[in-house]
Amino acid sequence: MLDRTYRNSTPALLARLITAVPGADMACISGPRALALHTDERARRVDLAQLRHGAGPCVEAARSGRSVLADITQVRLCWPGFARSAREARIFSFLVVPLLHNDALLGTLSLYAQRSHAFTERDETTAQLAIPAICAALLADGLAGVAAPVNGYQVECSRRRGHGRGEE
């Protein structure tokens, strides 16, 4: 039986979220400047590539304060420098939500899939509903790092509107 502390820890919540979102194969939580936690080496590499390039769905969600739901086609259009890293990791679907706590960005939650169009708006809602628990766990686990105000970021890809689906 799991003790209460572990059940509400960041790794446990991340594992439960992957189970709750059927298309998710892996997940990663990144802070404004660094990686906090990952479930798979490929997720770690993809998040680090986005931080290194300063572009990608994870960076977009942090900058805009909005969720990004995209597949590899949209990634190639909006973040061509990052697209190669995603293809090499065999990640073709992206669902990224900003982790906001008291109007400050603690990081981003990235769910990744090995097939295109793996995520739906329902999956996005499921991920967003998990934000309060994940933020609380990040703070309790000491993984939040330095919070950065969301309004200090600029949206990188001007063609992206709505929930990051490339809508015009």
How far is the C-alpha of 9 from the C-alpha of 133, rounded, in Å?
9
The pTM assigned to this predicted structure is: 0.80
pLDDT at 152: 32
How far is the C-alpha of 48 from the C-alpha of 151, rounded, in Å?
23
pLDDT at 138: 80
Residue 101, pLDDT > 50, answer yes
- Given a contact cutoff of 8 angstroms between Cβ atoms, the answer to whether 75 and 64 are in contact is no
Residue 12, pLDDT > 70, answer yes
Which of these CATH numbers, 3.30.450.40, 3.10.310.10, 3.40.920.10, 3.40.30.10, describes 4-150? 3.30.450.40
What would the mean pLDDT of 12-19 be, rounded to a whole number?
A: 86
Main-chain phi, psi angles of 155, to 5 degrees:
-75, 130
- Of 59, 60, 139, nearest to 101 by C-alpha is 139
pLDDT digits (tens, 9 = 90+) for 44-87: 899 889 988 889 999 999 999 999 999 999 999 999 989 999 99
How far is the C-alpha of 112 from the C-alpha of 131, rounded, in Å?
17
pLDDT at 93: 96
